[in-house]
Chains A and B, each alone.
Chain A
Amino acid sequence: MRNSPHKSSRIRSYFGHHLRSSITTLGRLYAQPVATLMTVAVIAIALALPVGLYITLTNIGLLSSGWDGSTQISLFLHTEVTKEDAVKLMQRLEKHIDIKNIELIDKETGLEQFKEMSGFGDALKYLDSNPLPVVLVIQPKMQSNGPDKTTALVHELGKNPLVELAQLDVQWVKRLYTFLEIANRGILVISSMLAIAVLLVIGNTIRLDIQNRREEIEVSKLIGASDAFIRRPFLYTGLWYGIIGGVLAWIITLISLILMEDPIHKLASLYQSDFRLSGLGIKNTMLLILISCLLGLTGSWIAVSRHLKEIEPS
């Protein structure tokens, strides 16, 4: 190439053109604020919706993990098992990795509790001996493992020869977890569909942009612009839509959270709970904006690769 500038200056000008493209395209978006805002708003709403659902689900999960504490396994030992043996069993079980803590209710305490709660106090006086077994009340570690693991733990404990019955009421916990899982899948499906919608919106916007600048593309091709050079401003436009859309989605989520926070806190305090809404967090915010950027870039890439080829000088 006789006329081409020197190599080092070519590399510098390559980055220069990237910088210029990014600034010029941002300027173009700024020059048409209404059109830009409408596109960006569509993207932001489409992103904010799954993000909102995700936050709701996370909070339900947090709330239910508080209920995990009330999940207990009651080990009814055989009636002939003495308190000493029960204590030995308890000490052994305390080392189990899935068990958080164990409370021992001996025969006497059990009888006292039964008297208080059943109202048969007087009738019990006529019994010759205490018919109640020693009971170990076990709190499993629930945060780290789901209901399946707890059920397995119950089975394992039930096999112990000292144990007559291991009992756990997990049905409702199981149901809740299953529901949360279904909701999780649902969010995944909705998110995927909305992501495709974002791709289409950006792709379509870029397609219109390409058509509006047909003349410029034709002339550029005629005077020797490479495909990458022509593609660049459109890809940057898509990237900007992604970034701005992502940030706007984050702002929408933030405002919604602030609006919800007060009444939810009031409701929680009515239940003597100090439950607080958990937001998106820095990591997830970054993830949101990253995904949004990728969607912007991909959307514009699809539009550009489809439509730039159609424009050839004639």
Chain B
Amino acid sequence: MIHFNNISKRYPGGHDALSQVNLQLAKGQMAFLTGHSGAGKSTLLKLIAMIERPTRGQIFLDGVNLNNISNRKIPYIRRNIGIIFQNHHLLYDRPVFDNVAMPLVIQGYRRQEIHKRVRAALNQVGLLSKEKVDPITLSGGEQQRVGIARAIVHKPLLLLADEPTGNLDPDLSLEIMQLFARFNQVGTTVLIASHDLDLIKHMGTPMISLEGGKIIHNGLPFTINSTR
């Protein structure tokens, strides 16, 4: 699903965020991405979502070389990806339903289809009863779940999450991670950046560790010592 071939990313000013990273994530796999802040986790996710472009190397997403994608075509690549942010990026000027419906509206789904899919997505995150509520009135965990519903409503091939539990307490965090595991079980490829090692160990899914822009570990979490 994701294939990094000798990827380097140098930001203007000379900071090397990633250097010569090789990475494979198979279709239907779930993995965590860990490392200290500044290790390159966010950069790696941004390269996949085409928010940034690599300085060197090639990225293949579902067999497509992203270097060959022009800026104009980026939206169509992103439509296959669901992205979840730490600060959930919800729009407070519209109710929960409209927030979740955004990817479908953008892709031109019909009204009945939108209703059906938004309800299904909200049901999966357990917020069906809140569809008419303004997101500002929801708790942090609920807002994050609305963000997840928005990321999965168009059934993307790949789910990217950047510190999705960063602001949540441990119980809620586990709940959110289990939600991701459920999506993974129905075939979605999932890549989650997180520094919550305890939680990752608890989940027992493969882990990719970054340090100074290089991969220092790629495998199951219990095979290494804590990198802290």
Contacts and interface: CB of A to CB of B under 8 A. Distances in A.
Interface in A1-57: 1-5, 9-10, 12-14, 16-17
Given A17-B108, A222-B78, A223-B102, A2 B72 contact: no
B79 A3 contact: yes
Interface string B49-60: 101000000000
Of all A-B residue pairs in the complex, the 7 with the closest CB atoms, nearest first, are A13-B108, A224-B79, A224-B78, A225-B106, A224-B75, A223-B103, A226-B75
A5 B109 contact: yes
Contact of A218 (B89, B106, B155, B156): B89
A10 to B, nearest CB: 5
Interface residues of A, number: 28
Interface string B87-111: 0010101000000001101111110
A1 B79 contact: yes
B76 A1 contact: yes
Interface of A: 1-5, 9-10, 12-14, 16-17, 215-216, 218-227, 229, 312-314
A222 B49 contact: yes
Nearest to B105: A17
A270 to B, nearest CB: 62
Contacts, number: 75
A13 B112 CA distance: 12
Nearest to A223: B103
Interface string B27-66: 0000000000000000000000101000000000000000
Interface residues of B, number: 28
A289 B121 CA distance: 46
B127 to A, nearest CB: 18
16 contacts: A1-B79, A3-B80, A3-B107, A3-B156, A4-B79, A13-B108, A13-B110, A216-B91, A216-B93, A220-B106, A221-B75, A223-B83, A223-B106, A224-B81, A312-B51, A314-B51
Given A3-B156, A222-B51, A312-B51, 5 more contacts: A17-B105, A220-B102, A221-B75, A221-B78, A227-B72
A225 B156 CA distance: 15
A244 B193 CA distance: 50
A14 B105 CA distance: 10
Nearest to A20: B105
